Amino acid sequence: MAAREIIVAVTGASGAVYAGRLLRALLQDGHRVHLVLSQYGRYLLIEELGYAPDLESVVEFLNRLYGDRVRRGSLHQYRVGDLAAPLASGSARIHGMAVVPCSMKTLAGIAHGLSTNLIERAADVTLKERRPLVLVPRETPLSLVHLRNLTAVAEAGGTLVPAMPAFYQRPGSFDDLGDFIAGRVLDVMGIEHDLYPRWQGPWREPQPPAVTTPP
C-alpha cells in the first residue's frame, strides 16, 4: 500500500497504549505521521508509557519501546498551539486523522467546532474536507453531555471507536488489547494491517468421522 499521510492526536484521557500501538503500526508500515500532543497527552505518554521528553525525541522513544522498525515511516511533530501549521488548512494533503485517546474536553471542542488549538482545528478541517476522522473516547461512565457530543461528531461524519477492546482473539498482553483498537482505527481509514486475527466464527472441536454400519 502506498504511504498515507495520517494525523495522530494524543489527548489527556487515559489509554496511552492505544496511541502507542497505533503510532507503531503506522510507522512500521511506512506511513507518514503528523503528530500533535496536547499538554496532557504529552503527560499521558510520560506517565503510562515512560516517555522521557528531556532525554529523547518521540521517534527515539518509540524506537526504544517498539524496536527499530518504526524508522520505516516518518514522523513530524507539531505544537498544539500552532494554528498556522499546515494541518490547519484544508489544502494540506492528509488522508485521515485519529484522536487516540480522545478526552471529553477535546471531544466537546470538536463537536462544537471551536478550533481553539491545532487538534480541534485539524479535526474540523478533516470533517469539512470529508476525510476519515476517528475518535477513540476513553471515559466511563458517560454523562448526557458526553453522549450528545459523541452524537454530534457522528452526525458530522466522524467515526467513534470507543476504547473497548475485544477478547475473542484471546489477548495475552496489554499490547494485544492496544493492537485491537489500533487495528479498528486503521480499518476505518482503509489501511491494511495484521494487528489481530479476524473473527472467523465460533471455534468448534473437530468431530470424528461418522461410522457407517454395513447393511
pLDDT in tens, 87-105: 999 999 999 999 999 999 9
Residue 200 located in a structural domain: no
Residue 160 located in a structural domain: yes
Residue 86 located in a structural domain: yes
Confidence of residue 1 (pLDDT cuts 50, 70, 90): confident
Residue 197 located in a structural domain: no
Backbone torsion region of residue 113, taken as left when φ is above 0, otherwise alpha when ψ lies between -120 and 50, otherwise beta = left
Q: Determine the pLDDT at residue 55.
A: 97
Q: Which residue has the higher pLDDT, 70 or 116?
A: 116
CATH number at residue 29: 3.40.50.1950
Distances in Å between the Cα of 199 and the Cα atoms of 21, 26, 168, 169, 202 are 20, 22, 8, 8, 8
Q: Determine the pLDDT at residue 177.
A: 96
- pTM of this prediction? 0.92
Tally helices (H) and strands (E) across the chain: 7, 6
- CA–CA separation, 141 and 149 (whole Å): 14
Residue 195 located in a structural domain: no
Q: What does the mean pLDDT of the chain come to?
A: 95
What residues does 98 pair with on adjacent strands? 8, 134
| Neighbouring residues of 47: CB distance < 8 A, sequence distance ≥ 6 | 16
Residue 211 located in a structural domain: no
Flag whether pLDDT at 14 surpasses 70: yes
C-alpha cell recorded at residue 14: 487515559
Q: Determine the pLDDT at residue 187.
A: 97
Q: How many domains does the chain have?
A: 1
Share of the chain above pLDDT 90, in %: 87
Model pLDDT for residues 189-203, shown as the tens digit of each residue: 999 999 998 888 876
Cβ contact 119:106 at 8 Å: yes
Residue 90 located in a structural domain: yes
Domain boundaries, position 175: 5-189
